[in-house]
Structures are given as structure tokens and as C-alpha cells.
Amino acid sequence: MTKEDVKQKIEQLSEQLRIHNYNYYVLSETTISDYDFDMLLKELQKLEEDFPEFAVETSPTQRVGGTITKNFKTVKHKYRMLSLGNSYSKEDIEDFETRIKKLVENELEYICELKYDGVAIGITYKNGKLVQAVTRGDGVQGDDVTANVKTIRSIPLQLKGNDYPDEFEIRGEIFFPKDVFEQLNKDREEIGEDLYANPRNTASGTLKMLNSGVVAQRKLDCYLYFVMGDNLPFETHFDSILKAGEWGVKIPREKQKYIKKCKTIDEIFEFINYWDKERNNLNFEIDGVVIKVNNYARQEEIGFTAKSPKWAIAYKFKAEKVSTQLLEITYQVGRTGAITPVANLQSVLLGGTTVKRASLHNADQIEKLDIRVNDTVFVEKGGEIIPKIVGVEIAQRDIFSVPTEYITTCPECETALVRKEGDAKHFCPNEWGCPPQIKGKMQHFISRKALNIDGLGEETIDLLFENNLAKNNADLYRLTYEQLFELESFKEKKSQNIIDGLIASKQIPFERVLYGIGIRYVGETVAKKLARQFKNIDNIINASFEELIAADEIGDKIAESIIHFFSIESNVELIERLKKYELQFELSEEQLANATTKLEGLVFVVSGVFSKFSRDELKSTIEQNGGKVSSSISKKTSYIVAGENMGPSKLAKAEKLEVNIINEDQFLELL
């Protein structure tokens, strides 16, 4: 292809991907399979790597993230990001209307919108391109989180059409979809991490992550609903939202009933009452409704207070809280041995569902609230996914009630519990003798991100365990077709699928096997780092604490967990058995063929655009040859591999610290 052909192909692929992305993330319509989308994206990435002069900042390839931010620049808002006054009753809304009608003579029209329970964001577009995204902060200034916001697929990097203003800001709310948040907590539970409390706080923390690649994996979403700018061509707030939708922005739409024009207080409360009941059916959290005067000229007449617009108000839903009786406290044992106390309740309706159980989190929470069996307790959902107990009705407590004594032995295997300093939870240390831990470890081992064994699931693992066919991960590889076929509800195809899945899993690469064996705190990313650094399982088993923490992204807590895991003889024996079944416990020959120690002890920073490597290929080559890649320049930096368009701030810092700067040809000579 000629260069002109390449340029046209890149533009064509970019437009195709933007259309499919808009259809899926904004309109919720699937117009292409995930596989086909990924193939188009891969083709575009390859072309941009080979011809970087045609890569643009609004390319769909920018969605994957990868930018590392040392700290977030504070930016002053062009237009102050004000807060809204809150109301909790019909009388409050009537008072709001009375106040503003004293300021304007014209008849008023209101817009009712959902009050999203997320993180406020202001996004600036210039000539249709996303150029900046800033958090609310204190309303006067916020943090520049542009790199992270660019990874959110429902936010356009390039607007559609050509009738948008040269420059404007659009504000809205970034949030975690409920199903995505639930999956995130499941993944954390798998590696023994504490669960996140609620979507709102987790979304806020995610936006402040230093690695935009991680943000991209979190699958945040966003609704934008407030256009701001100088001399905008709109008479009403509603018109501006509709137009933003035409530009490709994900807006609240009338057909979803997320937004409504209203003339009277009664119409406003029809909207409020509808969503007070229906909010539990949404895949995101809302905590109320926002009411705004629609006409911009009327807004101007009504004006502002020092903190908020007089022409808008938020109606807050009452916290979803009910009282019921605590019948019993039971204790669950997780895969890592973590003990979670659970309140078993008299059934009660909360948030549209019947609640019978609520998490009590840990011993400290029970002691703090002084929760006791037979207490009348207050249960709340609010922004939490899992119901929780938030208080006790002390006045109704039985005079013979006694404080709850937290268990001291495991409810499943009666082993004495331990609680290390700094841990919120108690743990059962009997890793390979406690049934829930054993089954949990096996379920983790066969999971999609680990060995991904076809035909095996949670119910099958339970069945195999109860029938004494598998008591650990290695036992799975002893299973025969005949043993499976004899189990209840097992037929020829199901039995053969499991056998085939076990055989296929022997080709799963080392890093996924390492993740699958279930070392606490060793998730997917850490497993990859360990595999690359140590090359095989024996090197990891024999590594000292100092050697482990010297590896990229391995801190004290992870290193201690790895050493503890391999200090248990049964864990090492299990690894030896899995080796005999031919699972991959070292990097493949192909991976090792490219590995040397030529760059051992050297720290590299990669900056700019390259012609012979992609940035990821360059980083991978450094790591394969024993070097370490850092995102920031310091006195420890050995070399900066600089391509075209290296950032001026990095260049200045490199010169100040007298760090060696080399190009990609010099890097190849170094190898």
C-alpha cells in the first residue's frame, strides 16, 4: 500500500470502530461481535505502529489506556462547578417554586433529571476533540484526569457532525455500572482482597489511579447532561442536551424516561415517585432527582447564590432503611480462609428485593455497633450493593441480652482462628483441611482467567469433593471418563468435555497457572510479573524476601504471602504433583529464546514514538533481557530510550539528572 492508501485505511478503520463503539456504549445496540471488533482494532493498532505519522490522539486505539501519571495537575474551572441545594419533601419543592416565581414573571417550564450517584466531571471539547477532563474538586479547581477519562468508551474522543461550537464544556457524572462493580468485587474476593464498599467511592478512586491502563479495565460509564460555553446557540437546557446527543454524547433520553419536561409540581412528583420505585431496576445508582428551570434566559434572571444556582434544586430520596429482627449470626469461610460474619434476618422487603441476610463484615463492626442475636436492627442498602446493618434499636433489646462473642475456631473444621496485625478479618489457617477453602481454591483454579477448564464449574467441584473424587487441584487430573459418567446427571458428552478440558489446560501458559494456584494477593498482573522475572516456579519457591521485592511491582505484603504459601509443605507437594501431570510451570521455549540477562541491573524509561518497535514491544524486550522499565525518571534511571516527540518535561529532567538518552538503534546496539 502507498502511504496515501495507509492513511485512508486508518481513517476508514477508525470511523468503523467509532460507529460500533457508539452503537454499543451509547445506544446499547450490538452491531458487531466482540471478536470482529477486536480484529478491526488490532489491524488499526498495527497500522498506527507501522505508520505513527498517521496516528491521531482521537484514535479508537487510545481507549486501552497505558499512560502513567505521577500526579494529577490541578486545573481551575473556567465555569465554577457549583453544588445544588437539597430537598426532601413536596413542601421543599413548593417553596423552591415560590422563591423563583418572585424573581420572574414568565410561566416556567422545568426539566427533571436523574441524580446520578457518581463522580462529577467537566469535559472540554475543542474543534470536536476531547482535550481536557477535570474533576469537581472544591468547585473552583479540580484534578486533570484526561488520560483516565479517555479510556471510558461511552465518552467520545471525537464528536460526530460539524455543527458543534469551536469550544465548549459538557458536564456529567462518571459511575460504575452495578454489574461491573459486582464482578470487580468477585475478582477481589478471589485473590483475598477486601471488598469495595460502594460503586461511588470506587469510581472516584479509579479516576485517581496513576495507570490509565488499569482504569480502562475497570469499565466505567458516564452520562453527560449539562452543556456550558460562551454564546451557545440554545434557548433551553433541554435543546442543548438533545443536540449533544446528536454529537455522539451519551445523554439521558426521554424514551428511557431518564429526563422529562414538567409544568407543575404534580408533574415533577410523578417523575420523582416513579423513579423512587424504579431506581432498583437501573444498572447504576441514583440518589434522587434534579429539577432545573429549562429556559436559559429565565435562569439568568433567577441567578445564583454564592454556592449554588437558584434555578435548580436536588430532591434526595430517603435512604432505603428498614428494621427487622436478627435471628442468628453465622460465619462463612472464603477461599483464602477469611471469615465473614453474616446476619440471618427475619425476611424484609428492601430496595425491591426480599432480604434475609446482611454482611456484618468483621469482629470490629460487630463490636462497634454492639450487635446481638434477637436485636431489632436497621438494614440499609443505599449506595451499597450488599445490604448491611447500620444500627440497633437498643430500646427494644431484651434485658437478658448478652454481647456477641466472636468465634475463636473455624465453623467448618474447628481450627483455631488467627488475626494478623493490620488485617480486618480473622482467618482459618487450615488451608488444605478446611472444606470451603479447598473447594474455593479448586473453583479458582478452574476459573476462566486461570486454567479455564471446560465443563467444570462450582456445582461440579462440590460434587467431585463430596464423592471423594477430588480433594485438591492435582486430583482433578486423576479423573477418568468412567468416574465422571457414573455421577448423577452426567452423560457421555459432559464427561468427555471435562476430560478434554483437563487435557487442554496442560497448554495454559505459566503465568495463568501461577495465578490459578491461588497465592493470596497474587492476581493476574502480579502473576505475569513474577513469571517474567523468575522464569519458572522453582525460582519463585526458592526466592528470598529481598529477591521478591526487587521484582517489578512486588511489595512487602505480596512477598510475605508468597514465602508463607511455599513454606507450607502440602503446597509444594501439590506443585510437584501438578508438574507430573505436565502443567506449565516455566516460561515457554519461545518466551525463553528471547530472554537474556544482558540488561540486568539497568533501569529504562521509554518515551516518544518509535519506528522499529511499538512502545509495548520495546518494554517487553527490555524485560525479557533482564532490564526493568520505569514510568518516571530518577537518579536510578540508567537509560532513556527516546523516540520522536519525547515530552519536553522528561527531556529537561533527564538533562538535569544527567541520564543517558539513547535512540532505538543505540538500544539495539546495547543488546
Torsions phi, psi of 641, nearest 5? -90, 110
| Catalytic residue (choose from 70, 76, 102, 115) | 115
Q: 292 an active-site residue?
A: no
* Gap between the Cα atoms of 64 and 313, Å rounded: 37
503 contacts 481 by C-beta, under 8 angstroms: no
Sign of CA dihedral 648, 148, 17, 122: negative
CA-CA-CA-CA torsion sign (24, 29, 30, 31): negative
Distance CA 532, CA 578 (A): 20
Note every long-range contact of 477-484, with CB atoms under 8 Å and residues 24 or more positions apart, other chains counting. 477/502, 477/578, 477/581
Nearest-angstrom CA–CA distance, 113 and 429: 51
Give CA–CA dist 125/159, Å, rounded: 8
CB 559 within 8 A of CB 549: yes
- Stretch (H or E) spanning 110: strand 110-116
For strands 353-359 and 129-135, give the pairing.
unpaired
**b/e burial code for range 86-101 (CB count within 10 A of at least 16 → b):** ebeeeeebeebbeebe
Helix, strand, or coil here: 375? coil
Tell me the three state secondary structure of residue 175. Answer: strand
Nearest CA to 603 among 635, 561, 579, 638?
Answer: 638
Q: What is the DSSP letter of 410?
A: -
Residues 6+ apart with CB under 8 A from 462: 439
Instruction: Give the whole-angstrom CA distance, residue 47 versus residue 62.
Output: 14
CA distance 417 to 411: 10
In 3D space, the residue among 431, 477, 112, 397 whose CA is nearest the CA of residue 261 turns out to be 112
CA 239 to chain centre: 33
User: Active-site residues: which are they?
Assistant: 115
